[in-house]
Amino acid sequence: MIRILKDPRIFVITIVWMMVLVFAGTIAQKDMGLFAAQNKFFSSWIVWLWYFPFPGGRLTMVIITVNLLFFFFNKSIWKLKKLGIVILHIGGILLLVGGGLTAIYSTEGNMIIDEGAYSDFVEDYHNMELAVVNTTHQKFDSYTVFDQPMLKNGKELHHLHLPFKMKVLNFYKNCEPIRRDTDPGVHYKGMMKNFTLSNQPVAKEDNRNRPGILLEISGTGTTTDGIYGLFLGQSIPQSITVHNDLFELAFRRQRTYLPFSIELIDFKKVLHPGTNMAKSYSSEVNLIENGIGKKKLIQMNEPLRHGGYTFYQASFMEGQHRETTVLAAVKNYGRMFPYISSIIMCIGLLFHLCIKMPDLFKRKKS
Amino acid sequence: MVHKALLTCLSVFIILSCGDDHIRTYTLPKQVQSQPEMDLPTNVEPANLQLSWTKPDGWQPSEGSSMRLASFDFPNKGDTGDISLIQLGGDGGGIAANINRWRTQLGLQPVIASLIENEISRIQGKLGEYIFTHIRNEESGQAFLCAIIPSGKVTFFVKMSSNTETAAAGEVDFKSFCSSLHFK
């Protein structure tokens, strides 16, 4: 078994297959969009091409990692002469481990802040969440949040903090609220009394879709039980009252709250002379942590790094009286791995070169 | 020994990768607005402000809904333009995203953000400058007249859905309606 796993031919075959995946993914993203192509070819365990399953990017990388790990079972490499090769392989494994950490644990999203306002959360680019907020208390709100993987058709949602149950009747990747022409009946509540969510074709770029969800609430024993609809960007929140507790239901981009907040002091845009084309953007921000503020400047190619997050200047919105900055927030646990592994691989190559140098000179003389 | 250590590390890594904890609970202090709304009179609660407009003569009020602030029909040569006025929080998704969403609804290709300016015109109304766009699909014969009217922390969207002929006939009235929007 070990003999098979350490076979260098596996490495060669998987590297060639990875090249094929990179080529196919690059071509496919033109038609299916970047995010969908990334998911299909690179973040998947199995990729289906027509009716045939092939190893996806994630499985291929695991095979390469395992193959490199089992390389160390070769007894012949544990010699001083092969030390450079061993170091090189350690660097390669570290690079793959870093990639794995990034793929599994890294998060990225947007932080949108108006001038003069602050934000302490990052909104995911792609994933949604259903937040049930108990707003009864005067000083704080209690959140029970169901992440997108739970929002599957037919899935029942319940939690000991909630005095009712929910069932996902329909999850829409892209929908449009449309006015009802007919009497909806007594089961439909809230916005759904006047509207229905119409399924729309899914746009290839995720940010052009408006996801929505149709939910059935039960177990309250009151007329609150019924079918509710929510969609992204809904201006009027859906509220329900259960046993004198007031709940708000929000269907929104998945939020990650940070232990610090960022206040936008000023957003600056410099235009190319005589045009409306932006030359550079920058955000002067106040980084507030434990009540202490520090002024920072975020501009193109000069991100702010704090608390494991990196905030890049991504975009902006212009209002009548003030501007809004859009920061791309990335948390990547594997951020340092490429640097460290590259250095290790360089050391390995140099070591190997130094060890082999005398042999090269000998061959030249002979 | 080395075999076991390597296999254990690999197993732990795989198990850690398979987490399925998708319910989160937390409490947060109630959200407080960081500053008063700049675009609205500060001595008046936004909820008390009423949006007002001048309705063009040819438009007839139609059945409203909880989502629409106002709804009108514009009859024209056997077709009826459906006009809606809604309000969304913030920028309502932004200019480019909304225009491309409308284009997609009409079966047209989206345009890249840098070319959006070619698709719109900026008009001065009573609520300030707003965006107007006339989107036509000549093949299907359907068209939208759309206006994005930012006002402080909210954005008003006016949209007329009709055939291309009705859209062309109603464009002047549509713009005059959008320009007339103001707070009482």
Banded pLDDT at A187 (limits 50, 70, 90) = confident
**ipTM for the predicted complex:** 0.74
Count structural domains, chain B: 1
Q: pLDDT over 70 for what percent of chain B? A: 75
Pairing of strands A304-306, A46-49: unpaired
* Mean of pLDDT values over A271-292: 82
Has residue B137 been placed in a domain?
Answer: yes
* Mean of pLDDT values over A213-238: 88
Has residue B125 been placed in a domain?
Answer: yes
* Mean of pLDDT values over A173-199: 84
Q: pLDDT over 90 for what percent of chain B? A: 22
Tokens 């892209």, residue? A174
Count each helix (H run) and each strand (E run) in chain B, helices first: 3, 10
pLDDT at site A334:
86
Banded pLDDT at B3 (limits 50, 70, 90) = low
Contact in structure between A252 and A131 (CB atoms under 8 Å): yes
In terms of residue numbers, what domain contains B122? 69-183
Query: Torsions phi, psi of A3, nearest 5?
Result: -60, -40
Q: How far apart are CA A144 and CA A132, in angstroms?
A: 5
| Distance (Å) from the alpha carbon of B165 to chain A's nearest alpha carbon | 24
CATH code, domain carrying B93: 3.40.1000
| Average per-residue pLDDT for chain A | 88
pLDDT at A135 over 70: yes
Lowest mean pLDDT segment, chosen from A232-236, A289-293, B159-163: A232-236
pLDDT at A360 over 70: yes
| Structure tokens belonging to residue B181 | 């929007």
Q: How far apart are CA B79 and CA A67, in angstroms?
A: 68
Q: Which tens digits make up the pLDDT trace of B89-123?
A: 777 777 887 888 888 888 887 777 667 777 788 88
| Distance (Å) from the alpha carbon of A346 to chain B's nearest alpha carbon | 25
Q: How far apart are CA A27 and CA A21, in angstroms?
A: 10
Q: Which tens digits make up the pLDDT trace of A84-114?
A: 999 999 999 999 999 999 988 888 899 999 8
Q: Which residues of A touch B104 (CB under 8 A)?
A: 200-201, 203, 208
Has residue B104 been placed in a domain?
Answer: yes
Mutate to test the interface with A, among B3, B7, B66 (most CBs of A within 10 A): B66
pLDDT at site A97:
93
> Over the Cα atoms of chain B, what is R_g?
24
pLDDT at B13 over 70: no
Residues contacting B72, CB < 8 A, separation 6+: B55, B59, B60, B61, B62, B83
Banded pLDDT at B22 (limits 50, 70, 90) = confident
Q: Assign A12 to helix, strand or coil.
A: helix
Mutate to test the interface with A, among B32, B34, B151 (most CBs of A within 10 A): B34
Q: Among candidates A15, A55, A287, A210, which has minimal Cα distance to B94?
A: A210
Q: How far apart are CA B139 and CA B157, in angstroms?
A: 26
Q: Among candidates B165, B94, B167, B93, which has minimal Cα distance to B135?
A: B167
Nearest to A179 among B65, B110, B128 (CB): B65
Tokens 């927030």, residue? A329
Contact in structure between A247 and A228 (CB atoms under 8 Å): no
Mutate to test the interface with B, among A180, A208, A323 (most CBs of B within 10 A): A208
Has residue B75 been placed in a domain?
Answer: yes
pLDDT at A328 over 50: yes
Q: Cβ–Cβ of B2/A72 closer than 8 Å?
A: yes
Q: pLDDT over 70 for what percent of chain A? A: 98
* Mean of pLDDT values over A238-242: 86
Banded pLDDT at B66 (limits 50, 70, 90) = low
Q: Assign A239 to helix, strand or coil.
A: strand
Query: Torsions phi, psi of A347, nearest 5?
Result: -60, -45
Nearest to B91 among A69, A201, A317 (CB): A317
Has residue B93 been placed in a domain?
Answer: yes
pLDDT at site A9:
92
Has residue B20 been placed in a domain?
Answer: no
Banded pLDDT at A208 (limits 50, 70, 90) = confident
Has residue B139 been placed in a domain?
Answer: yes
Q: Is the model more confident about A291 or about B26?
A: B26
pLDDT at site B37:
36
Which own/partner contact pairs does A285-288 have at CB distance under 8 Å and 24+ positions apart? Answer: A285/A113, A286/A118, A286/A262, A287/A260, A287/A262, A288/A118, A288/A260, A288/A261, A288/A262, A288/A263
pLDDT at site B46:
39
Q: Cβ–Cβ of B104/A100 closer than 8 Å?
A: no
Has residue B29 been placed in a domain?
Answer: no
Q: Which tens digits make up the pLDDT trace of A304-320?
A: 999 889 999 988 887 65
Q: Cβ–Cβ of B28/A257 closer than 8 Å?
A: yes
Beta strands in chain B (DSSP E): 23-29, 51-52, 60-61, 68-76, 79-89, 121-125, 128-137, 142-151, 154-163, 182-183
pLDDT at site B7:
53
DSSP designation for A93? H
pLDDT at site B110:
77
* Mean of pLDDT values over A254-266: 91
